[in-house]
């Protein structure tokens, strides 16, 4: 059952349900308590452990119903239609983590060859040509088995028996052996369909079909026609099963692949058409950072005894001091001063960083924002009153003009905020340090560092471009605690997460 739950958790993550390792272990414990035979009880237990919001619960319900769906692999259309009313929707198929799991592991996860259809062209030609004349009456395929000799191949016997549970188990085991959950791109669907059928005994069955249909005796030919009819239906069902598993386990619409690409792409290289997608990525990034760094108190097991809490906690023990409570130390979030260059070369980086910081209000409530080109101005209230895009437009309209002058901007920052800096303050500067050959005024940055706890400079340019042309990042570097490259969303998230870890 552990393997089944791990694959289910992987499917949940593909459906953008955040599941941690600790929650996975909780799911194991919940399964041990409730078992898996009662479908609704099993589903409720897993949902209580793995889904944290209404949106995640909806995604969980859909993923659960698809992952633990009892599929009907009957090879007889009439039997399937007659037995639909007898199916038990509340039963969960028994998890199969048996020996078939490792059987076909060698090459299954890899190669995107194999075409997107359920059966490739040459393969289908071989299967069609195996029957030769094709003059058998279709009604012969439904003739009673008593008039025909039993099939020789194992898959043929399984198809003619029309044992639906056994057929479903055989398909599941073959898919497990070929590691169908490793499917990643749609062009692998045909490849996995063929491998599953091969594992079930497709080659021996096609040889038997060809021999039976070429026989002279009528019962032999009827058996060949019946086997072909059932095999064609099985092939379609396996193809549909592979497609369903692909939609469950893979990034079917490519959104996650696109997100990974955009996170690694340099911000100044992201096409304009992807900016809305970038904003959604930043919103999710902010939620992750808030969840990871929202703890405001640190509870210790030593230090100064909290007498009132200790007395309240031990009232249930008749006043006997059995459980001790220690005083908690409140972790105050320090003030963050953000200074952004919004000239043409760095405006997009500034917009995305300010958008991210705007979304971190729960863990960074004391943020003051400043922007500059030639002169620096504070835009804290603008970002509090408007959404990030509107606020950035106001900031650019008011402060986004003139040639970049870092020396004058540092002087303006001294005037506006130097008296508010203390050892709990962090100054975060975003800019490429290209000063248009003006005086960089490093003495002002030195005074800012002396008053603040940390000065961090984020440069969106590649390191190879630093100190080239009119860049003076090397001169500023001596007066910063940290200077980092910050040209992509992945780098920005890593730096902000490290900042939150340090200040929290």
Per residue in 78-129, pLDDT tens? 444 444 444 444 445 545 544 443 333 334 333 433 444 444 444 444 444 4
Measure the CA–CA gap between 250 and 11, rounded to whole angstroms: 8
Check whether residue 448 and residue 373 sit in a common domain.
yes
Q: Per mean pLDDT, which range of 147-156, 232-241, 289-298, 477-486 is the poorest? A: 289-298
**337 and 391 fall within a common domain:** yes
What pLDDT band is residue 329 in, cutting at 50, 70 and 90? low
* Phi, psi (deg, nearest 5) at residue 145: -65, -20
- pLDDT for the residue numbered 417: 93
Shared domain for 322 and 337, answered yes or no, is no
> Does 180 fall in a domain?
yes
- The token pair that represents 99 in the structure block: 């020996």
222: which residues sit within 8 A by CB, 6+ positions away? 136, 140, 141, 143, 147, 148
C-alpha span between 315 and 313 (Å, rounded): 6
Report the DSSP beta bridge partners of residue 471. 434
Domain end among 214, 233, 249: 249
Question: Are residues 407 and 425 located together in one domain of the fold?
Answer: yes
Segment of 179-188, 323-332, 474-483 carrying the highest mean pLDDT:
474-483
pLDDT value for 113? 38
Cα–Cα distance, 4 to 465 (Å, whole number): 50
Q: Pick the last residue of a domain from 249, 280, 305.
A: 249
Shared-domain flag, residues 346 and 315? no
By residue count, the chain amounts to 504
Region 437-465: mean pLDDT is: 93
Residues 45 and 170 in one domain: no
242, 337: one domain: no
Tell me, yes or no, whether 220 and 197 share the same domain: yes
Counted domains in the chain:
4
- Domain residues for the domain of 313 are 297-330
Non-local (6+) Cβ contacts of 32 within 8 A are none
DSSP string covering 480-496, please?
A: -SEEEE--BHHHHHHHH
Q: Are residues 148 and 219 in the same domain?
A: yes
Question: Residues 324, 374: one domain?
Answer: no
Together in a domain, 303 and 353? no
Q: Give the tens place of pLDDT for each residue, 211-225.
A: 988 888 888 888 889
Extract the tokens encoding 286: 């902010």
Residue in 174, 166, 185, 189 with CA at minimum distance from that of residue 239: 189
């Amino acid at each position: 059952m552990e393997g089944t739950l791990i694959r289910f958790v992987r499917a949940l993550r593909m459906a953008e349900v955040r599941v941690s390792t600790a929650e996975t272990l909780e799911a194991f414990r919940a399964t041990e308590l409730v078992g898996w035979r009662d479908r609704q009880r099993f589903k409720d237990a897993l949902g209580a452990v793995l889904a944290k919001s209404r949106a995640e619960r909806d995604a969980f319900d859909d993923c659960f119903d698809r992952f633990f769906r009892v599929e009907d692999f009957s090879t007889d259309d009439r039997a399937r239609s007659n037995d639909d009313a007898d199916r038990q929707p509340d039963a969960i198929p028994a998890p199969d983590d048996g020996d078939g799991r490792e059987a076909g592991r060698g090459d299954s996860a890899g190669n995107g060859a194999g075409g997107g259809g359920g059966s490739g062209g040459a393969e289908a030609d071989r299967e069609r040509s195996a029957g030769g004349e094709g003059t058998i009456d279709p009604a012969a395929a439904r003739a009673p088995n008593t008039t025909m000799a039993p099939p020789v191949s194992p898959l043929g016997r399984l198809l003619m028996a029309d044992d639906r549970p056994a057929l479903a188990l055989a398909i599941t085991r073959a898919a497990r052996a070929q590691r169908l959950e490793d499917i990643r791109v749609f062009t692998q669907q045909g490849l996995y369909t063929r491998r599953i059928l091969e594992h079930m005994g497709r080659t021996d069955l096609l040889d038997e079909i060809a021999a039976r249909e070429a026989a002279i005796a009528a019962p032999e030919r009827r058996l060949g026609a019946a086997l072909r009819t059932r095999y064609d239906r099985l092939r379609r069902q396996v193809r549909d099963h592979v497609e369903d598993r692909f939609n469950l386990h893979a990034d079917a619409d490519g959104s996650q692949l696109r997100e990974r690409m955009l996170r690694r792409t340099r911000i100044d290289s992201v096409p304009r058409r992807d900016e809305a997608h970038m904003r959604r990525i930043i919103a999710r990034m902010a939620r992750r950072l808030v969840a990871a760094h929202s703890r405001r108190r640190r509870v210790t097991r030593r230090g100064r005894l909290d007498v009132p809490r200790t007395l309240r906690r031990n009232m249930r023990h008749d006043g006997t001091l059995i459980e001790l409570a220690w005083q908690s130390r409140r972790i105050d979030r320090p003030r963050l001063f953000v200074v952004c260059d919004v000239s043409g070369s760095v405006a997009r980086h500034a917009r995305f960083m300010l958008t991210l910081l705007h979304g971190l209000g729960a863990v960074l409530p004391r943020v003051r924002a400043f922007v500059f080109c030639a002169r620096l101005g504070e835009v804290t209230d603008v970002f509090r009153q408007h959404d990030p895009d509107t606020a950035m437009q106001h900031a650019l309209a008011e402060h986004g003009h003139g040639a970049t002058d870092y020396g004058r901007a540092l002087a303006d920052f001294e005037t506006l905020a130097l008296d508010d800096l203390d050892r709990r303050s962090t100054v975060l500067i975003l800019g490429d340090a290209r000063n248009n050959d003006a005086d960089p005024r490093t003495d002002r940055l030195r005074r800012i560092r002396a008053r603040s706890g940390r000065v961090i400079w984020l440069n969106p340019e590649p390191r190879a471009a630093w100190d080239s042309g009119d860049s003076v990042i090397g001169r500023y570097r001596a007066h910063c605690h940290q200077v980092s490259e910050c040209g992509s969303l992945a780098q920005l998230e890593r730096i902000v997460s490290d900042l939150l870890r340090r200040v929290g």
